[in-house]
Chain A
Amino acid sequence: MRGQLPNKWFYNLWLSVVLILLVMYACFFSEHLSRMFEKEADTKAACSPNTNSSVDDKARLLYEQPKIIPHRTDVVFASPWLAPIVWQSSFNSILLDGIYKPMNITIATTVFALGKYVRFLKDFLGTAEIHYMVGYKVDFYIFTDSPGDVPNVTLAEGRRVKVMKVPSSNRWQDISARRMEMIQLLIENTIRGQADYIFCLDVDSKFYAHFGVEALGRLVATIHPNYWFLGRDQYTYERRPESRAYIPLGEGDFYYGGAVFGGLLEDVRAMTKTCSQNFEADTANGIEAAWQEESHLNRYFLYNKPSKLLSPEYLWMDVAGWNKEIKLVRFSGVEKNYAEIRPN
């Protein structure tokens, strides 16, 4: 016994020393571990792009090294025309915020809340404050026929709501289709020079997870959650050649959702103007495309390739089932009784 005690003590001491060192290292010296706990990169000072700054600034943006071998192999991250497709794990928010925050951008964001749809605004705005372009300047433009019913939601600094009164309508299809023209006019008359990007979102939805600057691009379309496994001939494109939204069988990339699209002002203006004009031409010819302006949007995006695509994480539906590729739902249409809220 007498011989045993010093040995036991000796080994316990070694063990304790090693453990203490490990803990110290993990807490104070491991960059990798501390990055995991990092909430925001320190982006205080920006350097001039062209020269070494004479400012002895230690604010460094540190992030995980990009890899060539992917974490995720279950989805494709770029379209055949090399537009990135935004999925969970394809982007690094620290890096992207390091790029965009110094740019001091403003993102105009439109929603249409006519008739009973005003009731969705509270949740839409409330969840947007938690998840949508957080930390950036956002101008929400709420198109409504009952401005008095717009709820009062507290917004973070730099974010504001502008209410745009528009006429009512008896047909939800008309409301939906008129959106294109209203967005076009909004860009032309109101927000040019006041915003850098515009995003156009459906109001009957909520944000559930991060929806940030990874979505920004020149012309951004979102892959509709219902159709991405189908062949192009099964997409619900407008198939009548008489319509200006016509897409022949054998053509088509994805079916894009009309509930989320955006981009630079001029590019979205061109798209909404084309869709609006085509919709009106159709109306004059007595035809209405299968899914109204969404059909026109799909035609536009087929022949004018978007520069970035958002995965169905960015446009989901609460009623949809589970898909293994969707690791995260960021924005989703809430369950609703259409008969109850639509005017027709």
Chain B
Amino acid sequence: MQGCTPNMKLYSLCLTGALILLIVYACFYSESIRPVLHDIGIIDRKSDRFHDNGANSTCGLLLLRTLSSHHPSKTRNKILPQGLLYKKPSVVSGRTDVVSVAPWMAPIVWEGGFDSVVLDSIYEQMNITVATTVFALGKYVAFLKDFLETAEKHYMVGYKVDYYIFTDRPGDIPNVTLAEGRRVRVLKVPSSNRWQEISARRMEMIQLLIENTIRGQADYIFCLDVDSKFHAHFGVEVLGRLVATIHPGYYATDRGSLPYERRPESRAYIPWGEGDFYYGGAVFGGLLEDVRAMTETCRRNFEADTANGIEAAWQEESHLNRYFTYNKPSKLLSPEYLWQDIHGWSKDVKIIRFSGVAKNYADFRPN
């Protein structure tokens, strides 16, 4: 251009670049602009993976009733025996590189954030029983031996544990020596051709187990994936009213990128702009009644979806995430409690306590 100096060209380039960036941001990341662009027809609804037509009867508002402090609490007083000696708590030194309390005041459990001496002396007096479910159908029975053996070394050691093993092959349950006060109960269930179905049916089975079998026999229930091993202490620091675990793959991810179910037609739907963390379906637990309510809701929602011909992105894990978004857990476990062997090292996760073993899914899944 006549009279156009190199500086002005650069200037123009920068402005154009800024404008383009703004437009890109507006199209792909702005939750308010996207629906407008839908209406104008700039973004095609069908192909837009951020589709949100807002017509879903979504429970947009939080019903956040889980804070144990409000309801006449079934959690007991934390009574300490006299004369117990332990490291003095501090308000300024401790685990400060990670967040140890969620914004709704649920503690997040990390190594260095709790004192097992104190917690064990509180819980030992309570004589608690922790029911623990695993599902080992089809070839997944192969994981039981390592699961149980490592649990005996690390999981709720010194406490009464009732393992409930759901399987379609009771004959293939390995014989693992358990410590005193710990026992295995085998529950025969039908086989299935689809791993997604096996996964999703777990909610119903846990619900029924609580209603029909373990009410009155256990204080807490924890539901764990069987294809995993314990590597380090996994103890009573996890106990609480309703406990969820932060998935190792997404703990630093922005909520817009979390793999929630995004279709409004599904009952697991979580709209853009909502959500706290992505919780893993492989480790959750709590008091019997609270877990029962959660599993019942997830199960009913899964069935409603099925009747409508839809299956959530990650089956019951999607439903679990929706439940925990609108019914805040009273305690969160850090990814130390739910790792996967295939992940690399993370500077925040200083200790791996429970981790899914590396496996070839084709070898184990029915489909």
Residues on A lying within 8 angstroms of B by beta carbon are 3-4, 7, 10-11, 14-15, 17-18, 21-22, 25, 28-31, 43-70, 72-86, 90-92, 95-96, 98-100, 102-103, 105, 196, 214, 216-219, 223, 228-229, 231-232, 248, 250-254, 263-264, 266-267, 302-305, 307-308, 311, 325
Contacts and interface: CB of A to CB of B under 8 A. Distances in A.
Interface stretch (B185-193, B217-225, B266-274): B266-274
Contacts of B81: 303
Contacts of A308: 69, 105
Interface string B25-56: 01000111100000000000000000000110
Contacts of B69: 216-218, 263-264, 307-308
A251 B80 CA distance: 11
B83 interface: yes
A231 B33 CA distance: 56
Given A31-B32, A45-B61, A251-B84, A11 B12 contact: yes
B19 A21 contact: yes
B80 A214 contact: no
A18 B293 contact: no
B91 A99 contact: no
Contacts of A22: 22
B96 A66 contact: no
A57 B63 CA distance: 13
B109 A82 contact: yes
B97 interface: yes
Given A18-B15, A82-B113, A99 B65 contact: yes
Contacts of B79: 303-305
Contacts of B237: 82
Q: How many interface residues does chain B have, given as a range?
A: 35 or more
B100 A76 contact: yes
B8 interface: yes
Contacts of B89: 76, 79-80, 253-254
A51 B254 contact: no
B64 to A, nearest CB: 4
5 contacts: A31-B31, A59-B61, A76-B91, A76-B95, A217-B69
Interface string B98-126: 11111111111100011100110010000
A91 B92 contact: no
A216 to B, nearest CB: 6
A29 B98 CA distance: 31
A62 to B, nearest CB: 6
Contacts of B194: none
A54 B70 CA distance: 27
Contact of A76 (B33, B61, B92, B106): B92
Contacts of A219: 77
Nearest to A93: B103
Interface stretch (B156-164, B165-173, B203-211, B324-332): B324-332
Given A51-B297, A81-B114, A82-B107, 15 more contacts: A7-B3, A14-B15, A15-B15, A28-B32, A31-B30, A48-B59, A48-B63, A65-B254, A66-B277, A69-B99, A78-B101, A98-B62, A99-B64, A219-B77, A304-B78
A224 B96 CA distance: 22
Contacts of A79: 89
The secondary-structure label for the interface of chain B is: loop
B94 A76 contact: yes
Nearest to A53: B59
A328 to B, nearest CB: 15
Contacts of B75: 218
Contacts of B97: 69-70, 73
B1 interface: yes
B327 to A, nearest CB: 6
B67 interface: yes
A251 B301 contact: no
Contacts of B300: 50-51
B107 A83 contact: yes
Nearest to A70: B99
B199 interface: no
Interface in B244-266: 246, 251-252, 254-255
A51 B301 contact: yes
A54 B56 CA distance: 9
**Most interface-central of B64, B293, B348 (chain A CB within 10 A):** B64
Contacts of A64: 103
Contacts of B4: 7
Nearest to A223: B91
A325 B93 CA distance: 12
B85 A250 contact: yes
A55 B61 CA distance: 11
B360 interface: no
A85 B32 CA distance: 36
B178 interface: no
Nearest to B296: A50
B96 A76 contact: yes
A59 B85 contact: no
**Most interface-central of B11, B59, B82, B273 (chain A CB within 10 A):** B59
Contacts of A46: 61, 63
Contact of A11 (B8, B32, B90, B95): B8
A308 B72 CA distance: 16
A57 B297 contact: no
B357 interface: no
